[in-house]
Amino acid sequence: MTVISRPERSAPERSLSAGELAVTRQLLIHGPATRGDLGERLNLSYASMSRVARALIGGGIASEDLEPATAIGRPRQILTAVPSARHVVGIKLTGDTAYGVVCDLFGEVLGSAKAALPAAVDGVVPVTGVVKVIDQLATKLARKVPSLDGIGISLGGVVADQSIVREGSFLGWTEVDLAGPVRERTRLPVIVTNDVAALAREQLWFGAGRTHSTFGVITVGAGLGIGVVREGVPVEQTIDNGHLLAHAPIDSNGPLCGLGHRGCVAAYLNREDIEAQASAVAGHPVTMADLIAARAAGDPAATARLDAAARALGHLIATFAGGLQTDCIVLAGEDAAALTDSAGLNEVIADRLRPGPRELQLCELTILTTPLTFTDWARGAAVTGTQYALGTT
């Protein structure tokens, strides 16, 4: 007989004060630092910094060590964040599967698991069944860590109030409260967020945010996703679900997108649209993987189609960076590598940045590419859950 015991789940910890949170973020994003350096960076007085350091050490979020004395003078005290201070489960929901990871405070993945979601009934995946699957995954993942401090859930769609799935087309959901029932069942802090917004949060702490306070995130794959961090603040919900950028015109003689625009960014870049156009020409179903394989074999039509997609991505990156006024765009998604392989992308960006004859200003864009497997999506949800559990949202 197998006895399934519920792993220990810790009571929600006290949220951190604004000062404690600011110092924790500094330690996570930029690494260990002295009290003096932190106080200076965050404009905290000696007394405030001492109070914050004491609270963080007392709460187990940070530890303090004396720097080995290298010269004459007092050895300096170095504050370091403690990875095991928090453990949070992140879940990425697709239309049929829940992908889960459990991460520590540093976003390190300590375990992963996945489970099938219940089948849709009349096009709608039953919410109670999804809540049950999430609870089971969290219970399984909790066995890998001493205790759990929260759950972050992400999905493609529109999410309001960090809880309500306003539009979750993969699941057939409209106006579904997901955080409430999961919180009730697991007795843990729960946050629900758009999946690209979660990825932007993850990048803020552990990626582009280390060097840029403002940056954009583009995901290319099953859908085209847009995420934004402005002056260190992640934008929770885009105003347009990314439409203004995704459907910007590129060529009035180009192919049609699913919405009927001729030659918009999505018409060239959206995987569904690319596959539909290639299939129509071939007279049989053609997938993105088929196109990539055909290009590798030297097929000119597949090469041209992927090059056109890469050029559209170049335009999207340039327009996004210009609108957001950032020189950093993070590119992720299953199809990103296939498009960055193409010279068209860099050619378009270089041409968009090219100064006129009497212009001196030359901007350079930093394009960071990051892998995006289901584990990476789930990790974004976990980092969002950690930020929520710490009280940053």
Binder to Zn ion among 247, 271, 295, 379 (CB under 5 A)?
247
Residue 310 or residue 390: which is nearer to Zn ion going by CB? Answer: 310
Our CB check for Zn ion shows the closer of 261 and 311 to be: 261
Task: Report the C-alpha gap between 204 and 199 in whole angstroms.
Answer: 9
Measured from the CB of residue 41, what is the shortest distance to Zn ion in angstroms?
A: 44
User: Applying CB under 5 A, which part among 36-44, 191-199, 242-250, 312-320 lies near Zn ion?
Assistant: 242-250
Q: At what angle do helices 195-206 and 374-390 cross, to 10 degrees?
A: 70
Shortest CB 10 distance to Zn ion, Å: 47
Minimum gap (Å) between residue 62 Cβ and Zn ion: 48
264 versus 378: smaller Cβ distance to Zn ion: 264
Q: Which is nearer to Zn ion, 228 or 250 (CB)?
A: 250
Counting beta carbons within 10 angstroms of the beta carbon of residue 63, is it exposed (0 to 12), middle (13 to 18) or buried (19 or more)?
middle
Instruction: Rule CB under 5 A: say whether 264 interacts with Zn ion.
Output: yes
What whole-number distance in Å separates Cα of residue 224 and Cα of residue 214?
20
Question: Which amino acid, 346?
Answer: N
Of the candidate spans 91-99, 168-176, 260-268, 376-384, the one that interacts with Zn ion by CB under 5 A turns out to be 260-268
The alpha-helical segments, DSSP class H, found in 325-342 are 336-340
CB of 260 to Zn ion, least distance (A): 7
Cβ–Cβ < 8 Å for 174, 110: no
Residues 265 to 284 in contact with Zn ion, rule: CB under 5 A? 266
Ramachandran sector of residue 124 (left: φ over 0; alpha: ψ -120 to 50; beta: rest): beta
Q: Which stretch binds Zn ion (CB under 5 A): 19-27, 72-80, 115-123, 254-262?
A: 254-262
- Judged by phi (left if over 0) then psi (alpha if -120 to 50, else beta), residue 200 lies in alpha
Q: Is 71 left (phi over 0), alpha (psi -120 to 50) or beta?
A: beta
Q: Which of 141, 192, 196, 257 binds Zn ion (CB under 5 A)?
A: 257
**Which range in 194-202, 262-270, 375-383, 384-392 contacts Zn ion by CB under 5 A?**
262-270
Q: Is 259 in the site for Zn ion (CB under 5 A)?
A: yes
Using CB under 5 A as the binding rule, whether residue 224 contacts Zn ion is answered as no
Distance between CA atoms of 230 and 206, rounded to whole angstroms?
A: 16
Residue closer to Zn ion by CB (options 257, 390) is 257
| 129 Cβ neighbours under 8 A, 6+ residues apart | 117, 118
Task: Provide the 8-state DSSP code for 84.
Answer: G
User: Angle at CA 49, nearest 5°, toward 44 and 52?
Assistant: 120
> Is residue 381 within the footprint of Zn ion (CB under 5 A)?
no
Minimum CB separation of residue 383 from Zn ion in Å reads 32
- Asked if 309 touches Zn ion (CB under 5 A), the answer is no
Query: Which stretch, 113-121, 250-258, 344-352, 365-373, contacts Zn ion (CB under 5 A)?
Result: 250-258
- Residues forming contacts to Zn ion in the complex (CB under 5 A) are 247, 257, 259, 261, 264, 266
